[in-house]
C-alpha cells in the first residue's frame, strides 16, 4: 500500500444542513432513543445535580438537548456546540436552560473559559467528523471541557460519621447496617467513602459503518444493490482522505483489499479501548448495542437519507477537483442508491453496529 497515491483531503462536512438533513436528524434521534432507551446513560443520570452543566458536541438541530431539558431541573445549564449554526432552532424558541454556540471540537486550542466547566459532555454520530480514523483529538478536547475531580466537602457531616469515614449519601446505608452489624451476612454492605468527588462524565454514542450489512427480510426481495452501496460510499470517503491505513498494520495484502475501505470507521469498535487508554478518563461503561429488529426500518431509512445527503456534497467536490476517480464513484453511488431504495421498499434492511461509551474524568 505504500506506493499508492495519497488521497487529497477534504475538510468539509460531507452531509447537508438543509431541511431534508434536519429531518433526517430527527429520525436519527428517534432511532438512538429506541436503541439506547435513555438520553443520559444511567451511570450519569443517577448523579444529576440541580445545577448540572451539560455540553452537547455536534448538536445539529439540538433535539437531544431540547428533549433532555424537559427532564432536568430549571437551574441546569445545557449548551449545544456545532461548527455551523445552520440547523440551530430559533433562539427565542429555546427553553431557558438551553443555549447554542459555535465551536470547532477539532480546534488545536479551545476557548479557555470553557475548559473544566462541564459536568457532562455528550458526543454522538461524529464518525464522519473524525479525521483520518483517529478519534483522539475529539476525545482529548471533550475531556478538556469536563470538570476535574475534587475533594469532597465534609463540613456538613456530623463528627460521628466523619470519624467512620462515611459521607451523607452513605448515611442511610450506615444506619441500616449498624442495626445488624454483628451479622456476617450484612458485613459486605459496609462501604468506605471515596475522599474525592468524581470529575465530569463523557458519553459518546457512535455508529460503526465497518459492520454494515444488508439483510433480506422477504422471500421476494434481493439485496444486490444494497450490498454494493456501502462499498461505493466508503470508496468516496477514502478518495477524499477520510481513510487511515495505520489501524491495520499487520493486515495481509488480501485482507487490505477490503479493510482499506473500512478503515474509515474501524476505530469505532475500539472506542472503549480509546477511553481506557486515555490518561484523563476512567472507563465506566463501553459496549456494542444488541441488535434490534424493531428499529430495522428506521435504521434503513435513516441510512438511505444520509446517502441522499451525500450526493450534493460529492457533486460540489467533483466541481472543485475534477478527479476521474471521484466522478466515477459519484455516478456509481447515485445509480446504486436508487436501486437500494427500491430494494428497501421490497423487504431489504440496512444494518450496522452501534456503540456507546461512558468515561469519568480522573
**Which domain range does residue 36 map to?**
19-148+198-361
Does residue 58 fall inside a structural domain? yes
**Structural element, H or E, at residue 304:** helix 296-321
Same domain assignment for residues 275 and 238: yes
pLDDT value of position 231: 76
Please check whether residues 209 and 301 belong to one and the same domain: yes
Query: Is 4 within the bounds of a domain?
Result: no
What pLDDT is recorded for position 264? 59
Predicted pLDDT of residue 249:
39
Report the SS3 class of residue 258: helix
pLDDT at 320: 57
Grid cell, residue 227, equals: 450490498
pLDDT for res 267? 86
Same domain, yes or no: 67 and 110: yes
Asked whether residue 189 falls in the same domain as residue 322, the answer is no
Buried b or exposed e, range 124-137, using 16+ CB within 10 angstroms: bbbbbbbebbebeb
**Which helix (H) or strand (E) is 342 found in, with range?**
helix 324-345
In 267-284, which positions are buried (b, 16+ CB within 10 angstroms) versus exposed (e)? bbebbbebbeebebbbbb
Grid coordinates representing 317 are 467536490
CATH code of the domain covering residue 338: 3.40.50.150
For residues 133 and 56, membership in a common domain is answered with yes
For the question of whether the overall pTM of this predicted structure is more than 0.85, the answer is no
Whether 40 and 131 map to the same domain: the answer is: yes
CA 203 to chain centre: 7
Q: Profile the chain (362 residues) by mean pLDDT over runs of 10 residues.
A: 39 77 93 95 95 97 97 96 96 97 96 97 92 89 90 45 44 42 36 61 92 87 88 70 44 41 70 95 95 90 88 62 69 90 94 94 94
Question: For residue 161, what pLDDT is reported?
Answer: 41
Q: What is the pLDDT, as a whole number, of residue 259?
A: 43
Specify if 124 maps to a domain.
Answer: yes
219/94 same-domain check: yes
pLDDT at 127: 87
Give me the numbers of helices (H) and strands (E) for the chain, helices first please: 11, 9
Are 104 and 241 part of one and the same domain?
A: yes
The predicted structure's pLDDT at residue 243: 46
Position 12 in a domain: no
Amino acid at each position: 500500500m505504500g506506493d499508492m497515491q495519497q488521497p487529497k483531503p477534504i475538510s468539509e462536512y460531507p452531509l447537508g444542513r438543509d431541511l431534508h438533513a434536519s429531518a433526517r436528524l430527527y429520525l436519527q434521534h428517534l432511532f438512538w432513543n429506541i436503541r439506547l432507551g435513555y438520553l443520559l446513560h444511567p451511570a450519569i443520570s443517577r448523579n444529576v445535580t440541580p445545577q448540572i452543566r451539560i455540553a452537547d458536541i455536534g448538536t445539529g438541530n439540538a433535539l437531544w438537548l431540547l428533549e433532555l431539558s424537559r427532564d432536568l431541573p430549571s437551574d441546569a445549564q445545557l449548551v449545544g456546540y456545532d461548527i455551523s449554526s445552520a440547523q440551530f432552532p430559533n433562539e427565542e424558541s429555546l427553553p431557558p436552560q438551553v443555549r447554542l454556540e459555535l465551536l470547532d471540537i477539532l480546534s488545536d486550542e479551545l476557548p479557555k473559559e470553557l475548559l473544566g466547566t462541564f459536568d457532562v459532555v455528550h458526543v454522538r454520530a461524529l464518525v464522519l467528523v473524525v479525521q483520518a480514523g483517529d478519534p483522539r483529538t475529539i476525545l482529548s478536547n471533550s475531556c478538556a471541557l469536563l470538570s476535574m475531580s475534587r475533594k469532597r466537602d465534609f463540613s456538613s457531616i456530623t463528627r460521628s460519621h466523619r470519624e467512620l469515614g462515611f459521607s451523607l449519601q452513605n448515611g442511610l446505608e450506615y444506619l441500616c447496617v449498624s442495626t445488624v452489624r454483628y451479622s456476617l451476612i450484612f458485613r459486605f454492605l459496609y462501604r468506605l467513602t471515596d475522599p474525592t468527588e468524581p470529575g465530569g462524565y463523557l458519553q459518546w454514542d457512535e455508529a460503526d459503518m465497518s459492520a454494515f450489512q444488508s439483510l433480506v427480510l422477504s422471500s421476494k426481495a434481493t439485496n444486490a444493490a444494497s450490498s454494493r452501496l456501502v462499498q461505493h460510499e466508503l470508496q468516496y470517503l477514502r478518495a477524499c482522505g477520510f481513510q487511515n491505513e495505520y489501524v491495520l498494520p499487520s493486515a495481509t495484502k488480501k485482507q487490505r483489499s477490503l479493510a482499506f475501505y473500512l478503515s474509515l470507521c474501524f476505530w469505532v469498535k475500539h472506542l472503549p479501548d480509546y477511553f481506557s487508554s486515555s490518561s484523563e478518563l476512567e472507563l465506566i461503561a463501553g459496549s456494542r448495542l444488541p441488535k434490534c429488529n424493531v428499529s430495522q426500518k428506521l435504521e434503513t431509512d435513516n441510512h438511505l437519507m444520509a446517502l441522499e445527503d451525500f450526493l450534493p456534497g460529492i457533486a460540489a467536490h467533483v466541481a472543485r477537483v475534477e478527479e476521474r476517480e471521484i466522478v466515477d464513484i459519484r455516478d456509481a453511488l447515485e445509480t446504486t442508491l436508487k436501486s437500494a431504495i427500491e430494494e428497501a421498499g421490497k423487504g431489504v434492511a440496512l444494518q450496522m453496529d452501534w456503540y456507546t461509551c461512558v468515561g469519568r474524568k480522573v
